[in-house]
A and B are shown apart, each in its own frame.
Chain A
Amino acid sequence: MEHWKLQRISAILMIPIVVLSLTYIMNITSIPHEQLINDLSSIFGFLTSVIFIGFILFHSSMGLEVIIEDYIHSQGLQNNVISISKLLHIISFFLTVLILASI
């Protein structure tokens, strides 16, 4: 699918993901360590976190790509910076999965 459509679809997905994530994150200081571990190590918690962060990183990567295309004028540098940005997003995703899976 083309970049433009994928970015809009990921944008629509961001609406429920941001709202649901915020209801949890805004209470993070009052959640005891044990409960946090229980929440994130449950199948539901693990899958929701991985899927949410995966979609957020996907949306982030697509958005950064457009920004880089618009502001880095040299074609060679532009391609390199986009590749680095994508690589960082992939690394961030796998680190998240690794950390959540090892809880």
Chain B
Amino acid sequence: MYRLLIMNTTNRPLSPHLQIYRPQLTSVLSISHRMTGFALSLIILFSPIIIYFLTYSSETHQIMISIFQSIFIKVIFSFALFGLLYHLCNGIRHLAWDAGYGLDLDSSYKSGYAVLASSITFTLLILIFTGAL
């Protein structure tokens, strides 16, 4: 009986249980925020290597630029840019929630669609204006 009163602190299930949760716009956007954040973390952790080769000599710089200009890297970079802008827009949405704004279901869906629309728009605008598209 006494054992039941002790709070189970070591073996509790942890949230969120993605496998048993029906996908909805709000939950998909939420897990996407984490997935893009994780991917962006990996990119920034590898940034010293990129900076190193871009600055080491004009030869390594030239090699890096030609890598950046290959179609394969351009496609990957475009997705990374979308990930970054999505994480930025959705991050602002999260900050608004933390400040107590837009917490009701209707606003959550509206801001969710706004985040999707604005991150796609910004990605396309940047790619078009920099000549990548």
Q: Which residues of A approach B to under 8 Å, CB–CB? A: 8, 11-12, 14-15, 18, 22, 26-29, 33-34, 36-37, 40, 53, 56-57, 60, 63-64, 67, 70-71, 73, 75, 88-89, 92, 95-96, 99-100, 103
Would you give the shortest CB distance from B93 to chain A, in whole angstroms? 11
- Asked, given contacts A36-B61, A63-B37, A70-B15, whether A92 binds B48 with beta carbons under 8 Å apart, the answer is yes
Would you give the shortest CB distance from A101 to chain B, in whole angstroms? 11
Total residue contacts A-B, CB cutoff 8 A: 78
Complex Cα gap A33–B55 (Å): 7
Q: Are B48 and A95 in contact (CB under 8 A)?
A: yes
Could you tell me the dominant secondary structure of chain B's interface residues? helix
Would you give the shortest CB distance from B129 to chain A, in whole angstroms? 8
Complex Cα gap A11–B89 (Å): 11
Q: Are B41 and A63 in contact (CB under 8 A)?
A: yes
Q: Which of B38, B45, B61, B95 contacts A12 (CB 8 A)?
A: B95
Q: How many residues of B contact A (CB 8 A)?
A: 33
Q: Which of B37, B40, B46, B92 contacts A15 (CB 8 A)?
A: B92
- Asked, given contacts A40-B55, A67-B38, A89-B45, whether A33 binds B61 with beta carbons under 8 Å apart, the answer is yes
Supply 14 further A-B pairs (C-beta < 8 A) apart from A14-B88, A67-B34, A92-B48. Answer: A11-B95, A18-B84, A22-B84, A22-B126, A29-B65, A33-B58, A33-B61, A60-B37, A64-B38, A67-B37, A67-B38, A70-B15, A99-B51, A100-B55
- Asked, given contacts A22-B126, A29-B68, whether A60 binds B88 with beta carbons under 8 Å apart, the answer is no
Complex Cα gap A100–B84 (Å): 24
Q: Are B52 and A99 in contact (CB under 8 A)?
A: yes
Q: Check if B100 is an interface residue, CB within 8 A of chain A.
A: no
Q: Which residues 12-64 of B sit at the A interface, judged by CB distance below 8 A?
A: 14-16, 34, 37-38, 40-41, 44-48, 51-52, 54-55, 58, 61-62
- Asked, given contacts A12-B95, A15-B92, A60-B44, whether A37 binds B55 with beta carbons under 8 Å apart, the answer is yes
